[in-house]
Structure 1
């Protein structure tokens, strides 16, 4: 079977059969397909698309391109959540221990930051000693014992996806719904899941900028997952503003700890979305008959401290401080310069350019310009005001945490430029947090 004939078939708009797709995926792993051939097929798919059968076949082939985890004799359902990426999205840090405290088992294999969006693995590496690359046997043991463990992606899970994505990233073929679908699901299927909750972010801070694209991606993921044997529900959620009060690695860990412990009020949008995604997971896993009962169980896990205790146990078991929850400020790195972002005028905060705020974190050193860049875990924003809030002139929109004064002043100006204030009595309406639910 010739690579160029497979490329030609897709270029002409034909549907690839399973044998052709298997040949391509083998070529990704063993190197028999050149970079030019991989790029050509990626562009052909980008332009011509794939039907559902092709997407299922590609997903399953990439899933089986490396090690596939299994969880025999697990006493409860194996569940996970995946987000398409947002700004301030720390939900995985709370979600995994909450679901574990309710009887689920969450072997979460998370990613690093990409572009303007933060990564769960980067956040966890702000915790001194936390090991995001444990041995496979240790990962298995921890999930079974604690109910959850969050680690980084290993090279032997869906290696075909790693190569294909790297090529797509430099050939302008990332924004293909069937290829995004196969990329996400191949890794989740390789983790041995029985249920998956998808958070498809939509808005000016998300990969899916429009509701139409968000719905297309959500529908694809739900249908392809079903075709590959994985029960999946997808929520399309608003990313037209920063999620929560903190953005930046150590700051988001601090926010997650405060959330789990109930130190003060929980930010309403963060709390609502965390409960919504966790509830879908519990229903998928048969741990609750409906989302209303699931929410009751999840709130009880928070109120009793059971979820916080699972998080503390996970951190300690993976090499972090045993008393992180009691003394987070003793361990999490803090920036030397903290400066307020004064509101340029009085009024209601009615809009923010969320992607630009995510890029502020990258400029501060809290994200990567190149894949191998080191990250400054200390930097970011805290005290982020939410859309709809009314501020006086000069009142802080947020606090900038920076490595030096010059970086802080640049970030102050950038955040001011990324927000819009209107008269406090002018009409304004919030976006719904959960725009749609599929699956």
Structure 2
């Protein structure tokens, strides 16, 4: 049975009202993703968040009455709360209180499937809870599960701070080992000269749906926030036969918990190894421009802003009006439309060509293996056979660092 949830949100006077409403809607979606039932939202306009109570004392009385009348099980604050704010609120409110960050960490804990994902979530939870140990009161006493209680259990969190810090150090060491293993895997892909495309975007933009349709794979996809948590890579074949590796990544979001960004940084660093980025944007979302800017800002923080990007405005089937892309290069697509898949692959090939060098090779008739190599590691523009000289002339786009470029021959004999 789902928990009955009341959301508390403070609208600061300096905040844009529309942006504030989107943030509340996002928290409602997050709560539903965590299997909670949002009964209502109580908001308060203030110059700033109350330093000790989050909301004002007058508003607390309204909250107390509502909780009793509606049999509320859990209160979720739209902002990150300090341990003292939680402790002080618990003196007035007789149900557990968590904040936006704790809710996101909870969803990540339920979604992590790989060993690395589980380690990262546990690390983020400990780093979030460590400075709040003295303010967790009721939240830690909630045995039996529920929103905000997945992950480290009561006994671990009530043990001394030194134990938790040792556990954090242990998790960091284990993650470093996993990170090194992935680095070796990435190096192997680079040695094999495989072109890499990373799919990024705001959570629920349709990244996994597009990834699955393009690569004919079956990663988890659902109309929920953070449906994908663990990075997945698959092979993608372009119209010319050129092969690339495409990687699906965890969704971005505004106001992600700091501990979570730090813990998942190594996963997101997969993006830094990419030769191209697909930035998937939910064009049907009323706040898609802000979501797009959030992703771009996080990519800049990662140091990935220099990587060529193709912006994909997804969910065109849900658009009510004419959509004009404000990024270039860009395509407006539906992840479910096969015609759009072909358009995307053709546009990808065009962009790859613009990044590569067009070179001509003159090859002997017995150099079939080299022709095959050019077809898989480059984009072949044309192949001609001269019966008189029994030679092939191959015009091919190759990355500038490709070893064959230094060995290309003159085509004068052709």
Q: Do they fold alike, i.e. is TM over 0.5?
A: no
Higher Cα radius of gyration: 2
Give the alignment's TM-score, normalised by structure 2. 0.30
Larger relative contact order (CA 8 Å, sep ≥ 6): 1
User: Higher strand fraction: Structure 1 or Structure 2?
Assistant: 2
